[in-house]
C-alpha cells in the first residue's frame, strides 16, 4: 500500500510536468491543427538555459529559491524567442501547404535545435547543482519532497492562469475564435497571425517552465531529453483530447500516474512465478523465491506509447475532447 501511495505521488508530480508540456502541444494544435514536433526541444532548451544560470549562481550565496527563479526568468524569454522564431520561419510560410510539409519542417527544426544545443551544452548529461535543501513530509505512508509539492502547486497555478487567459481575456477570445474559423476571425478584426504567434509564445513559455521543473526534479538535463518528453506529453495531449485545454491537464496527470504505477507494478504482474500454474511449469526458476519477470520497470517508456495507441484506436477524441482525430 505504501508503495502504491508513493508511486501515486511520484506519478502526479511527473504528470503535472507532462500536463504543462502537453498544454503547449494542444494550444498550437487547437489553433492551427499542427503538431509542433519541435515543442519538446523548447522544453530541453528551457532546462539547459536554467542549468547554465543556476550553475553560475549556485556558488554566489543567493537563497536557493531566488537562484531557481532567476534561472526560470532567463529560460522563459529564451524559449519564447525560439518559439516565435520557429513559428515565423518554419511554420508560417507553410500555413497553406499540404499537411505533410509543416510536419517535415518541424522534424527539421527539432533536429537543428537538438544539435545546436549539443554544440552549446555538450553531449554530456549535465547534473544540476544540489542547492535546494531536501525537505520531506510524510503523508499517508508516502514521502513527499518540497520540490514535488512546489512542482504540483505551480503546475496547477499555471493551468488556472492559462484557463483564465483562454476563457476570460480578449487574447483568449481571439484565440478561440481563430481556432474555430480563422477566415471569419480575420473578418471580425482579429489579427490572426499575431494570435497564432502569441499561442506559440505562450506554449514556449510553459515549455520553458516545464523544462526547469523537470531539470530540478530529476537533477539532470541532456540535449536529447526533449524528444522523449515531448512524445509523452503529446501522448498526454491526445489522451485528454487534443486541442482541448482542460483535456491536456487531465491527460498529463493521468499519463503520469499510469506510467508511475505501471513501472511500479509491471514487474510483479508479469512475474510468472506469482501464478501457481505457471510457477509449477517453470519449476526450478521459481524455487526459493525466484522470479521470472517478463517485463520489468525498464519498459516504463513504453506505457505512454501504448496509451497513445489505445486512445487513438478506441477513443480518438480523447477523454474530454470533442475534436476527432480525423476531422478535416
Partner 1 sequence: MNRGKLLWAGVALVAVTLLLLPFALSYAGTAWVRIANFAMLYVLLALGLNIVVGFAGLLDLGYIAFYAVGAYVYALLASPQFGLHLPFWVILPIGAAVAALFGVMLGAPTLKLRGDYLAIVTLGFGEIVRIFLNNLSQPVNITRGPQGIAGIDPVRLAGVDFSRTDTVLGAAFSGPMKYYYLLLLLLLAIVLINVRLQNSRIGRAWEAIREDEVAARAMGIDTTGMKLLAFAMGASFGGVAGGMFAAIQGFISPESFVLVESVMVVSMVVLGGMGNVAGVILGALLLAFVPEFLRWTVEPVQQALFGKMLVEPEVIRMLIFGLALVLVMLFRPAGVLPSAVRKRELTHDRAS
- Single out the residue of 17, 22, 35, 75 in contact with partner 1 (rule: CB under 8 A): 35
User: Using the rule CB under 8 A, is 161 a contact of partner 1?
Assistant: no
Count Cβ neighbours within 10 Å for each residue of 269-300 and write b for 16 or more, e otherwise: ebbbbeeeeebeeeeeebeeeeeeeeeeeeee
Please compute, for residue 58, the number of CA atoms within 13 A of its CA located in the half-sphere on the CB side.
15
Residues 6+ apart with CB under 8 A from 163: 245, 246
Nearest to 108 by CA among 200, 41, 43: 41
In angstroms, give the least distance from the CB of 111 to partner 1. Answer: 3
Cβ proximity to partner 1: between 177 and 263 the closer is: 263
Q: Which is nearer to partner 1, 194 or 285 (CB)?
A: 285
Q: Is 41 or 213 the residue whose CB approaches partner 1 more closely?
A: 41
Stretch that binds partner 1, among 8-16, 54-62, 172-180, 284-292 (CB under 8 A): 284-292
235 binds partner 1 (CB under 8 A): yes
- Given 222, 227, 244, 317, the residue binding partner 1 (CB under 8 A): 227
The C-alpha cell 474530454 sits at: 320
For residues 100-137, one letter each, b for 16 or more C-beta atoms within 10 angstroms of the residue's C-beta and e for the rest, the string is eebeebbeebbeebbeebeeebeeeebebeebbeeeee
Instruction: Between 30 and 71, name the residue whose CB sits nearer to partner 1.
Output: 30
Separation between Cα atoms, residue 34 and residue 100, nearest integer Å: 10
Going by C-alpha positions, the residue among 79, 80, 60, 23 that lies closest to residue 230 is 23
Between residue 75 and residue 134, which ones bind partner 1 under the rule CB under 8 A?
89-90, 93-94, 97-105, 107-112, 114-116, 118-119
Single out the residue of 14, 43, 234, 263 in contact with partner 1 (rule: CB under 8 A).
234
Taking the least distance from each CB to partner 1, the nearer of 218 and 292 is 292
Contact call for residue 288 and partner 1 (CB under 8 A): no
Nearer to partner 1, 172 or 241 (CB): 241
In angstroms, give the least distance from the CB of 142 to partner 1.
Answer: 28
Count, residues near partner 1 per rule CB under 8 A = 55
Question: CB under 8 Å to 119, separation ≥6 — which residues?
Answer: none
216 or 244, CB closer to partner 1? 244
- Closest contact distance (angstroms) between CB of 89 and partner 1 is 8
User: What residues numbered 134-153 form the site for partner 1, per CB under 8 A?
Assistant: none
* Contact (CB, 8 A) for 124 and 225: no
Query: What distance, in Å, lies between the first and last C-alpha atoms of the chain?
Result: 47
Q: Which of residues 250-269 bind partner 1 (CB under 8 A)?
A: none
Phi-psi region of 290 (alpha: psi -120 to 50; beta: other; left: phi over 0): beta
Cα dihedral 103, 108, 113, 115 in deg (nearest 10): 140
CA gap 117, 78 in Å, rounded:
13
Give least dist CB 179 to partner 1, A: 16
Q: Work out how close the CB of 145 gets to partner 1 at its nearest, in angstroms, rounded to a whole number.
A: 28
Least distance (Å) between residue 115 CB and partner 1: 5
Whole-number Å distance between alpha carbons of 21 and 114: 17
> Which of 302, 315, 319, 320 touches partner 1 by CB under 8 A?
302
Q: Which residues pair with 126 in a beta bridge?
A: 221
What is the contact surface with partner 1 in residues (CB under 8 A)?
A: 34-35, 37, 89-90, 93-94, 97-105, 107-112, 114-116, 118-119, 227-228, 231, 234-235, 238, 285, 291-296, 298-299, 301-302, 304-306, 308-309, 312-313, 316, 325-327
Amino acid at each position: 500500500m505504501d508503495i502504491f501511495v508513493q508511486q501515486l505521488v511520484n506519478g502526479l508530480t511527473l504528470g503535472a510536468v507532462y500536463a504543462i508540456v502537453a498544454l503547449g502541444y494542444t494550444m498550437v494544435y487547437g489553433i492551427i491543427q499542427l503538431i509542433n514536433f519541435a515543442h519538446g526541444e523548447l522544453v530541453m532548451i528551457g532546462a539547459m538555459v536554467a542549468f547554465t544560470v543556476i550553475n553560475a549562481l549556485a556558488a554566489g550565496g543567493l537563497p536557493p529559491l531566488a537562484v531557481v527563479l532567476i534561472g526560470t526568468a532567463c529560460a522563459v524569454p529564451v524559449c519564447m524567442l525560439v518559439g516565435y522564431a520557429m513559428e515565423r520561419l518554419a511554420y508560417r510560410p507553410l500555413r497553406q501547404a499540404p499537411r505533410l510539409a509543416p510536419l517535415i519542417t518541424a522534424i527539421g527544426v527539432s533536429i537543428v535545435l537538438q544539435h545546436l544545443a549539443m554544440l552549446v551544452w555538450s553531449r554530456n548529461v549535465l547534473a544540476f547543482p544540489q542547492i535546494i535543501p531536501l525537505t520531506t513530509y510524510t503523508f499517508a505512508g508516502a514521502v513527499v519532497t518540497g520540490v514535488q509539492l512546489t512542482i504540483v502547486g505551480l503546475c496547477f497555478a499555471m493551468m488556472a492562469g492559462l484557463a483564465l487567459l483562454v476563457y476570460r481575456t480578449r487574447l483568449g477570445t481571439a484565440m478561440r475564435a481563430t481556432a474555430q474559423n480563422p477566415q471569419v476571425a480575420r473578418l471580425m478584426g482579429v489579427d490572426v497571425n499575431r494570435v497564432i504567434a502569441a499561442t506559440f509564445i505562450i506554449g514556449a513559455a510553459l515549455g520553458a517552465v516545464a523544462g526547469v521543473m523537470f531539470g530540478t526534479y530529476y537533477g539532470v538535463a541532456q540535449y536529447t531529453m526533449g524528444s522523449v518528453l515531448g512524445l509523452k506529453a503529446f501522448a498526454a495531449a491526445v489522451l485528454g483530447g487534443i486541442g482541448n485545454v482542460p483535456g491536456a491537464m487531465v491527460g498529463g496527470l493521468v499519463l503520469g500516474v499510469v506510467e508511475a504505477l505501471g513501472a511500479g507494478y509491471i514487474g510483479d504482474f508479469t512475474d510468472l512465478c506469482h501464478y501457481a500454474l505457471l510457477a509449477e511449469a517453470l519449476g526450478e526458476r521459481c524455487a526459493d523465491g525466484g522470479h521470472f519477470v517478463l517485463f520489468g520497470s525498464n519498459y516504463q517508456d513504453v506505457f505512454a506509447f501504448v496509451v497513445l495507441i489505445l486512445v487513438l484506436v478506441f477513443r480518438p477524441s480523447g477523454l474530454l475532447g470533442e475534436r476527432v482525430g480525423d476531422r478535416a
